[in-house]
């Protein structure tokens, strides 16, 4: 059987499993007409091309590899020349300046080299029947320092070529304008998103994209996981652990998003705009009222970001969060009106796991307590397909806006057999289980969900650990944790899923 439409067939297969039937409810044989299925990537995990095409230095370029037990590090140097390194999401010590060392491997520099493989990769996505490909535009490729007045045309040429390749294969491009990064210069000169000046830089970046690429792109995301990004590498802010600095920086990101939507509506009629949120579901550890309320409050720390951006206003409970954390967000005249006038058209989110909170929990947004009812992956992520249906329902109840599951997938160790083939039935099972829950949310619960992009269709570098060993793809990349390998692409069993 030809591989074209494989994913379309996958949907039929998943939808026809028919394991959940309700009396009198017709379950359509497959996902709704026009549902967008495809894959998602980030530039510093996938693109590579460091130092090529006029690309400037990115905040993510200083990040090393780690593993499941060891944090990735940001390497730095003190004014006296002392070398050091700090955990990925932590603040750097006072006086430390991020620095690159010749004897350290930095995965973002080559990533898996989409820069030179994009035609091959997109052709493979086309062969699988992808209808959408989500990728980001690297900020320091388009504006090498972030402060230029004019964009780097070579970067725009590259992204236009990527888009044209997608369109030639019948794939809708979906662009994340900024995926957890910023040009290093904006950190150094302005302390990143703590400065309102960076809002102007970001909007100039968005304008350059809209003017050059807007007529070919319908779907845009202003930010990736805006509720979760933290620290030097993702937001370029020195003292980000300080709640005052944190929420002020996020306010600037809200403004940047709203101004970009305003601009996008002017320059790209017909385009739609979202932002992406990390929204693992949170369950109470017990039915003790204190645990239930604590889990609810913890959930709102993430939904706060969706509330501001989808409803266009800071929610009532923001007062409680800000009073408890000693935060006073500085707003200028017109800020609130701007947020109210330009809310998101749709809500997109990543879903990899659910988590558990109790009245005693102290974890931040990325943590959580174990759930004894769920299996976990090799990277200790609980696997919870039903939590995705819960999440879709919760978000649709709350916002009544179209939803897009923009990241989901299984990070696993893939061991090639003697012939070099990966038999990843575990990945097919994981994806099928999650797709079934999306189908049920749409067909049984009548949630408006219009797309799904699985994370990393071509194996790429892990964000959390910087490893290659943690693979998500349908397509294997010959490369190890140290960046060694041919980078040749090959199909896993999951690629041929419906053909077996």
Active site residues: 225, 407
368-371 contact pairs (CB < 8 A, 24+): 368/280, 368/282, 369/285, 371/283
Q: Which stretch binds ligand BG6 (CB under 6 A): 17-25, 87-95, 443-451, 456-464?
A: 456-464
Shortest Å, Cβ 44 to ligand BG6:
9
Instruction: Please give the angle made by the CA atoms of 58, 178 and 437, to the nearest 5 degrees.
Output: 130
Q: Which of 198, 209, 210 is nearest to 250 (CA)?
A: 198
**Would you say 488 and 478 are in contact if contact means Cβ atoms under 8 Å apart?**
yes
Report if residue 464 touches ligand BG6, rule: CB under 6 A: yes
User: 65 or 248: whose CB is closer to ligand BG6?
Assistant: 65
Q: Which helix (H) or strand (E) holds 475?
A: strand 475-477
* Candidate list 384, 407, 459, 481; residue touching ligand BG6; CB under 6 A: 407
User: 87 or 464: whose CB is closer to ligand BG6?
Assistant: 464
Nearest position to ligand BG6, beta carbon: 464
Shortest Å, Cβ 109 to ligand BG6:
17
User: 11 or 346: whose CB is closer to ligand BG6?
Assistant: 346
Two structure tokens written together for 184:
């290093």
User: 184 or 225: whose CB is closer to ligand BG6?
Assistant: 225
Of 162-221, binders to ligand BG6 (CB under 6 A) are none
111 three-class SS: coil
* Candidate list 65, 195, 257, 350; residue touching ligand BG6; CB under 6 A: 350
Strand partners, 134: 40, 174
Shortest Å, Cβ 48 to ligand BG6:
15
Shortest Å, Cβ 332 to ligand BG6:
30
Neighbour tally for 329: CB within 10 Å: 15
* Candidate list 151, 411, 451, 483; residue touching ligand BG6; CB under 6 A: 411
Q: Which helix (H) or strand (E) holds 343?
A: none
Q: Which stretch binds ligand BG6 (CB under 6 A): 89-97, 103-111, 287-295, 461-469?
A: 461-469
**Separation CA 60–CA 258 (nearest Å):** 25
218 three-class SS: coil
Report if residue 87 touches ligand BG6, rule: CB under 6 A: no
Shortest Å, Cβ 470 to ligand BG6:
5
Query: What CA dihedral angle connects 112, 115, 120 and 126, to 10 degrees?
Result: 100
User: 225 or 440: whose CB is closer to ligand BG6?
Assistant: 225
Q: What is the total count of residues that contact ligand BG6 (CB under 6 A)?
A: 13
* Candidate list 110, 195, 224, 248; residue touching ligand BG6; CB under 6 A: 224
**Would you say 451 and 36 are in contact if contact means Cβ atoms under 8 Å apart?**
yes
* Candidate list 10, 42, 48, 231; residue touching ligand BG6; CB under 6 A: 42
Q: Which stretch binds ligand BG6 (CB under 6 A): 82-90, 239-247, 251-259, 458-466?
A: 458-466
Report if residue 136 touches ligand BG6, rule: CB under 6 A: no
**Would you say 252 and 218 are in contact if contact means Cβ atoms under 8 Å apart?**
no
Report if residue 383 touches ligand BG6, rule: CB under 6 A: no
* Candidate list 50, 143, 455, 497; residue touching ligand BG6; CB under 6 A: 455
423-429 contact pairs (CB < 8 A, 24+): 423/492, 423/493, 424/492, 424/493, 424/494, 425/493, 427/472, 427/474, 427/492, 427/494, 428/493, 428/494, 428/497
Phi/psi at 282 (5° precision) = -120, 120
Shortest Å, Cβ 464 to ligand BG6:
3
Report if residue 225 touches ligand BG6, rule: CB under 6 A: yes
Shortest Å, Cβ 331 to ligand BG6:
28
256 three-class SS: helix
Two structure tokens written together for 464:
């959390």
**Would you say 185 and 56 are in contact if contact means Cβ atoms under 8 Å apart?**
yes
User: 199 or 463: whose CB is closer to ligand BG6?
Assistant: 463
Distance (Å) of CA 210 to CA 63, 124, 226, 268, 405 = 30, 27, 21, 7, 24
* Candidate list 278, 310, 403, 428; residue touching ligand BG6; CB under 6 A: 278
DSSP state of 497: G
Task: Mark residues 465-484: x for contact with ligand BG6 by CB under 6 A, - for none.
Answer: -----x--------------
Q: Which of 133, 34, 9, 33 is nearest to 475 (CA)?
A: 133
Shortest Å, Cβ 34 to ligand BG6:
25
Report if residue 489 touches ligand BG6, rule: CB under 6 A: no
User: 66 or 312: whose CB is closer to ligand BG6?
Assistant: 66
Q: Interface residues with ligand BG6 (CB under 6 A)?
A: 42, 45, 224-225, 278, 350, 407, 411, 455, 462-464, 470
């Amino acid at each position: 059987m030809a591989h074209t439409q494989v994913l379309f067939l996958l949907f039929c297969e998943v939808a026809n499993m028919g394991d959940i039937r309700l009396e009198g409810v017709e379950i359509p044989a497959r996902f709704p007409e026009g549902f967008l299925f495809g894959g998602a990537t980030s530039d510093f995990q996938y693109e590579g091309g460091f130092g090529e095409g006029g690309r400037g230095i990115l905040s993510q370029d200083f990040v090393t590899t780690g593993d499941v037990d060891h944090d990735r590090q940001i390497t730095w140097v003190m004014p006296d020349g002392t070398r050091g390194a700090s955990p990925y999401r932590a603040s750097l010590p006072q006086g430390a300046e991020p620095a690159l060392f010749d004897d350290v491997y930095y995965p973002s520099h080559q990533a898996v080299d989409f820069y030179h493989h994009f035609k091959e990769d997109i052709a493979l996505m086309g062969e699988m029947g992808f209808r959408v490909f989500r990728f980001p535009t690297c900020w320091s490729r388009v504006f090498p320092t972030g402060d230029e007045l004019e964009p780097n045309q070579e970067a725009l040429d590259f992204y236009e070529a990527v888009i044209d390749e997608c369109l030639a294969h019948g794939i809708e491009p979906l662009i994340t304008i900024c995926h957890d990064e910023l040009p290093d210069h904006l950190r150094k000169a302005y302390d990143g998103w703590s400065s309102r000046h960076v809002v102007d830089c970001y909007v100039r970046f968005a304008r350059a994209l809209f003017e050059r690429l807007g007529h070919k792109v319908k779907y845009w995301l202003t930010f990736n996981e805006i509720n979760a990004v933290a620290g030097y590498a993702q937001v370029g802010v020195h003292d980000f652990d300080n709640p005052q600095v944190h929420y002020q920086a996020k306010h600037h990101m809200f403004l940047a998003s709203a101004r970009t939507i305003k601009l996008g509506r002017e320059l790209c009629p017909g385009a739609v705009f979202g932002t992406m949120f990390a929204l693992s579901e949170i369950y109470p550890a017990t039915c003790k009222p204190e645990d239930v309320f604590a889990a609810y409050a913890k959930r709102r720390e993430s939904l706060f970001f969706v509330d501001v951006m989808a409803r266009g206003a800071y929610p009532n409970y923001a007062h409680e969060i800000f009073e408890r954390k000693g935060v006073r967000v500085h707003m200028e005249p017109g800020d609130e009106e701007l947020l109210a006038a330009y809310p998101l058209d749709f809500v997109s989110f990543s879903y990899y796991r659910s988590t558990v909170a109790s009245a005693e929990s102290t974890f931040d947004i990325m943590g959580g307590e174990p759930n004894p009812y769920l299996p976990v992956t090799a990277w200790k992520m609980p696997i919870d397909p039903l939590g995705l249906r819960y999440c879709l329902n919760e978000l649709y109840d709350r916002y009544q806006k179209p939803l897009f599951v923009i990241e989901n997938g299984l990070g696993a160790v893939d061991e090639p057999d003697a012939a070099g083939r990966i038999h990843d039935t575990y990945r097919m099972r994981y994806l099928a289980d999650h797709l079934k829950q999306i189908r049920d949310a749409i067909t049984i619960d009548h949630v408006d969900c219009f797309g799904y992009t699985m994370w990393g269709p071509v194996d790429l570098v892990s964000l959390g650990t910087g490893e290659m060993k943690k693979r998500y793809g349908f397509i294997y990349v010959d490369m190890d944790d140290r960046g060694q390998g041919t980078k040749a692409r090959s199909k896993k069993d999951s690629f041929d899923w419906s053909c077996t």
